[in-house]
Amino acid sequence: MKRYWKTIVITLAVLLGIGTFYIRNAVSASSLPQFTFVKESGDDSEIMPIVLAGSFDRSGHFGSSEGLQIVDNEIQYSSEQSLIEQFTEGYRGEYGLIDLQEKYRSFMRGKWGSASFYEDKDFLLYATIKEEGSSEKKDFSFSISLLDKENEERTDIKIEIPMKRSIIYMGEVDVQMVGRMLKVVAEHAPYTNSDFEDKEVHVYTIDLSSKKIIADDLIFYSENAGESFINYQRLAQNNIRNPNKYIVYEKYSVQEGTDSYGNKTMEKRASELIAYNLETGKQQTIQTGRLNNPDYSGYESFYNDSAIYVIERNAEKLKIETYDIHRKKLMKTFEFPVLSSKNTEDTKVIIKNSRIYLYSADESYPRQTKQPPAQLIIADLMTGKTVYKGKLVAKKGTEMEGILRTHYMEIK
């Protein structure tokens, strides 16, 4: 017994320390505001897919920010989470990879990056680009893992990528399956001696049966034209791991100049959207409605499968236009009143599950008055009709001066 007394004492000390940690944190969290959505109209079930992550900054307490998340309309502060929950919380920031981590633990081990995943009813696929070598000479390869959901068989493939020129950086931005062919959309940063930031967008076609790259298509590339240049920026994509027929890029020009102090300036000029069909390899320019306006900026555009959504904001209203890429026309326009935030840009907009989610909170700091409640509107994507309207408030008896900040919003 004497041989083990040190081990027993150490084990008890560790258990006591962990227990004290959880008790202290639980007591601390219980004194904080218990935020919850309160319905003004509509169906309470509409808010259940919403996940919010952020922090609460107690008024007058420097450095007293407490992380939190709201899931199923229940709040949990970081101090209430287990060590495992705190460790896995990082997955929430990537389009809900936490659900894949929980469902396919073995397959997901060592995998991250939402743009590297593809999922349909039959398969879960992960494809990423690996880099080896020095800055002068880099080699790149595809690391691919395919999981057959029905028989749970896993296939791992490594394919070297032949390089036609020296590349500083290469990274995947989307992964799709077309039949049994894997399509990897990758952005290249070729090596250059000039100040011009060169950029290329490639679509690699990989035959998973033969484990070979059968096509490398250069679809977009930046161009330098004296004092101006043409560049491309991929639009934000909803549900990025779901099957998508198109990838959409904004093509824009930038004019170089100088300000009154002689400092170099870069001004964004003309802009247009180009959709690339992964099945046919054809491109089309989207020119209709707001997208045909010379003042258009793709900053607040995003897409999902064959639909492009464009958000236009002003002091009184928020307008959402929906375009069908395949039909090449404007389909619907919805308008909503500006919510509580002083800055219209603070309204978070997510379109998913045939719903439009609008969440707005006044998070300005420092504050001279009590923070007003955050507002939430959920509307039907087909009709524009509001199916839920409510506010995020602290439960009675738990109110406290401070600022609730929302860093991330996700729809399950």
User: For 163-198, what is each residue's pLDDT tens digit?
Assistant: 888 889 999 999 999 998 999 999 999 887 766 678
Helices and strands counted in the chain (H then E): 4, 27
In this structure, are residues 118 and 184 in contact, taking their beta carbons and an 8 Å threshold? no
pLDDT, residue 62, reads 52
Q: How confident is the model at residue 259 (pLDDT cuts 50, 70, 90)?
A: confident
pTM across the whole model = 0.81
* Tokens encoding 407: 């860093």
Backbone phi and psi for residue 351, each to the nearest 5 degrees, phi listed first:
-115, 115
- Rounded to whole angstroms, how far apart are CA atoms 120 and 340? 38
Q: How many percent of the chain have pLDDT more than 90? A: 44
Residues 6 or more apart whose CB falls under 8 angstroms from that of 136 comprise 166
Handedness of CA 81, 82, 85, 89 (dihedral sign): positive
Average pLDDT, the chain: 84
Where is average pLDDT lowest: 157-166, 183-192, 315-324?
315-324
In this structure, are residues 246 and 275 in contact, taking their beta carbons and an 8 Å threshold? yes
- Rounded to whole angstroms, how far apart are CA atoms 3 and 151? 50
Residue (of 374, 377, 404) closest to 391 by Cα position: 374
Which amino acid appears at position 325 of this protein? Answer: I
